[in-house]
Structure 1
């Protein structure tokens, strides 16, 4: 009976995440409309509230174009695998309170995040397009670079709670929040999530003036929907992970969802007013500035852990 309840809860969670992706697009278009002093989607029925449904139907019924020299099986399967892995991210969501515990949840998240590199490699290589391959090289190098620093930052936090379990972030923050002690880590991890998940102004793999549409240039209709949903689901998951680790909001879902909404708004807001800067500057920032700093912090925390172990 307990397993059935858990299964039903996760099915409801996944359905709500899918619906959130649809309305995330509506929020994005509305906010960008206000930032750019123009009208957002406001024509479809009640103030554009059914606009996500119209966008979904439009993409669903669009023509599917297949490149002549593509690898057909990988071309069809890779977007579905990307969406499936994005769904797996949400398995560590502390949805059922302390009654459902994923002991190695953060390790599972690291594994899924690493698999996304191979998914986007398959997506771009299977279409056999020069633009997609160039976008893939940019995206994978950017994703791997910021994933290294992301893992080191999270390892620093795991030294504090001495666990890989997401639920323990709540237990260790019942009285005081990590946000007030590790504000610098919070800001750097937030920037790492933004750069890793490739939203503007960090969308170097989809730079319209150089790469047209980047690694997904040859995908349309349902295949494009799968890629699109996997990216937006990952952005929402990173918002949940960020505020769960620094605020411990597991037992109060209203506040956790409210902070996820704030994270989504900040992603859209940065897209509206920040210009895209050079790709080599992004790589310089991570490899020569951020990564050495957090490696020093990691070695310090590791040495303190050994000191406590032996004494």
Structure 2
């Protein structure tokens, strides 16, 4: 009975995430429209509020294009696996009312995040297109570079709570928030999340001006929806994660939703006014600046842990 209740809650969570993705896309189109001095979607129902549902239905009913020299099985199955892994991210979400929490949630998140690299590699390789391969090379090198530093920063935060459980960030931040004395880590992790989510100004694998949408150029209809949804689900999850780790807002669900909405707005706003980086500057930023500093802080915190352990 108890397992059935948890399963029903996960199904409700999955449905609400899908609806949030749909209206997140509508929010992005409206905000970018006003940034660019235009209206955005405003015809479908009141103020275009159901435009996301119409676009989703249109994409599902569109014809699927099959390239001549693709790997058919990998081409069809890889977007579905990518969406499934994006759903797995939300399994570490602590259900306080149901007394459900994943003890090694952050380790599970590291595994899912690392596995996403292989999914996008398969998506690009199965298309057998020059543009998708170029987008894949950019995406994989970018994700691997920023993922290493992202994990090091999260491990530094885990040293503060001595736990892999996401719920413990709330327990250790009842009196004081990590944001106030770990502000620079917050900024570094925010930059890494933008690069990890392939958002502006780090959207190199989807460079429309030179790669024509990059790694997903050959995908259409429901396959494109799966890729699209997995990316936007990751954005919402990263927003929940960063504000839980630095503000401990998991128990206050309403305030967490407000902060996640602010994170989503900030991601859209950055896309509206920041130009795309040069790729060599992106690699310089991580390997010459952020990664050495993160590694130094990791060694320093690890040394403090050893000192406290033996004294």
Taking structure 1 as reference, are residues 103 and 3 closer, same or farther at Cα in structure 2, changes over 3 Å only? same
Contact conserved, 1:9 with 1:95, CA < 8 A, in 2?
Answer: no
In structure 1, the residue matched to 2:124 is 124
CA deviation string 1:112-137 (max 9, x = no partner): 00000000010000010010000000
For normalisation by structure 1, the TM-score amounts to 0.99
Contact conserved, 1:97 with 1:251, CA < 8 A, in 2?
Answer: no
Structure 2 unaligned segments of length 5 or more: list them: none
1:97, distance to aligned residue in structure 2 (A): 4.5
RMSD: 0.8
The 3-state SS of whatever aligns with 1:206 is coil
In structure 2, the residue matched to 1:77 is 77
In structure 2, the residue matched to 1:136 is 136
Contact conserved, 1:97 with 1:250, CA < 8 A, in 2?
Answer: no
CA deviation string 1:56-105 (max 9, x = no partner): 01111111100000000000000000000000000001133571120000
1:299, distance to aligned residue in structure 2 (A): 0.3
Looking at structure 1, the residues matched to 152 and 90 of structure 2 have their Cα atoms a distance apart, in angstroms, of: 21
The 3-state SS of whatever aligns with 2:169 is helix
The 3-state SS of whatever aligns with 1:205 is coil
Contact conserved, 2:6 with 2:98, CA < 8 A, in 1?
Answer: no
Work out whether 1:12 is the aligned partner of 2:18.
Answer: no
In structure 1, the residue matched to 2:275 is 275
Contact conserved, 1:6 with 1:96, CA < 8 A, in 2?
Answer: no
Looking at structure 1, the residues matched to 265 and 143 of structure 2 have their Cα atoms a distance apart, in angstroms, of: 22
For normalisation by structure 2, the TM-score amounts to 0.99
In structure 2, the residue matched to 1:152 is 152
Contact conserved, 1:152 with 1:298, CA < 8 A, in 2?
Answer: yes
In structure 2, the residue matched to 1:220 is 220
1:17, distance to aligned residue in structure 2 (A): 0.4
Looking at structure 2, the residues matched to 302 and 147 of structure 1 have their Cα atoms a distance apart, in angstroms, of: 20
The number of equivalent residue pairs is 311
